[in-house]
Amino acid sequence: MNRIAAVTAGLSLAFIGSSATFAATINVPEDYATIQGAIDASSDGDVINIAPGIYKESNLDPGGRPITIQGTLNDDGSLVTTIDAQQIGSVFVCDSQEGEGTIIRNLMMTGGTGNQTYGFLHGGGIHCEFSHPTISNCTIIGHTAERGGGISCLFSSPTIDNCIISDNTADVGGGIYCFGNTSSPRISNCTISDNTAYSGGGISCASNKPVPNTPIISGCMIKSNVASQNGGGILCTNSNSTVDACTISGNTANDGGGIYCYNSSPTINTCLIEGNSCNSNGCGISLYYLSIPTLINCTLENNSFNWNIWIDWQTDSYLTLVSSDPPFSSAACCVSSGCAAMSSDDCTALGGNWLGEGGSCDDCSASCSGDTNNDGVIDIEDLLTMLSNYGSVCP
């Protein structure tokens, strides 16, 4: 490490004892054998270069310093530096109010199991708490946690750019977990794929009431994620996210294969939502409890059963469409449990009432309590349907 201290003295002013310290480059393992050792020796503005190889370290803590921690790239831009947490905690823990000047980039991370906080294991790959680091050009793969298999943003707004977040597992937020009204990360140009969770397979955005969080998700590919309950691609709970120019495809959930909203009003702009599947409602988008999203120039197609959008109108949810393709607002189908956007044939197959061009879910009449098959008569068939579903978990 070389540091240059310059002291300039004038005839009328003397800056006695002052100095300007310039950033240093610290090399691992040349200067320090471990990444944490290099971090501990660093000062603001320093760059830590990590040579190619596999480093078995966990819970790496920048300590609030505005430093750059970076791996090495091949000539073709591929990553050649891997940090393996060996199932011991998170790979990185940013909980010292790190800002955007704390930069983590050009690294592959694997083997994390999360950092214990608020009673849960958070962030198998990276756990952020009251911090806002910059995470760029990283591959975050093969982690587990209870909240945020890949990345956990707890009251944090990191910048996450050009990352691959794949094959991670959590109870909530398989790929990324955002929680808290100040948790509004900027997630851009990322591939979030093949992650698994109970809810929020790809991304979970949630906030403590009454103030929603406002993550910005742009230019991302969110694909092939699985949630056993709600939100295969994206789960919004009390979250007014912006989802812009994203492809949300091939995701699976019980309800809301592509996107699931509960008490949320996201803005979804110029997105392709296709090929998602579900076991229950809204294979493309599912809306519950005061969810009022706005779709602008979006395309929804080839989602299972053609249930592209499901609206639980009984909980005051509705949809604002702006030049969307196709215009699902004119294809409302009233069934006993709510309202879905679908074709006339699909509505008929469900035993519903298709309202035709210009119809909306607001025009659905109140359901007949107990008429589970929507045939207008409460009889033994309704009882058998109820018994067959006994014990099922409602969304």
In the chain, the amino acid numbered 113 is T
Torsion of CA 267, 134, 170, 199, to 10 degrees: -10
pLDDT at 48: 98
Percent helix / strand / coil, the chain, rounded to 5: 10, 40, 55
pLDDT at 368: 47
Can you give the pLDDT of all 395 residues of the chain as single tens digits?
Answer: 443 333 333 323 333 343 445 789 999 999 999 999 999 999 999 999 999 999 999 999 999 999 999 999 999 999 999 999 999 999 999 999 999 999 999 999 999 999 999 999 999 999 999 999 999 999 999 999 999 999 999 999 999 999 999 999 999 999 999 999 999 999 999 999 999 999 999 999 999 878 899 999 999 999 999 999 999 999 999 999 999 999 999 999 999 999 999 999 999 999 999 999 998 878 899 988 888 888 998 988 888 864 677 777 555 666 665 654 444 433 566 766 566 555 565 566 556 777 665 555 656 665 444 544 444 445 555 555 554 555 554 43
Total residue length of the chain: 395
Distance of CA 325 to the CA centre of its chain: 25
Residue 344 main-chain phi, psi, to 5 deg: -60, -45
Domains observed in the chain: 50-331 (2.160.20), 332-385 (no CATH)
pLDDT at 362: 58
- Which residue spans within 221-258 are E strands per DSSP? 221-223, 226-230, 234-237, 242-244, 247-249, 252-255
- Through-space distance between the first and last CA atoms of the chain, rounded to whole angstroms: 57
> pTM of the entire structure?
0.79
Do you find a cis peptide bond into 66, omega within 30 degrees of 0?
no
Q: What's the Cα-to-Cα distance from 131 to each of 90, 100, 160, rounded to whole Å?
A: 15, 9, 13
Q: Are 115 and 96 in contact (CB under 8 A)?
A: no
- Both tokens of residue 38? 């290099």
Cα 238 from Cα 262, distance rounded (Å): 6
331 SS3 class = coil
Cα 162 from Cα 139, distance rounded (Å): 9
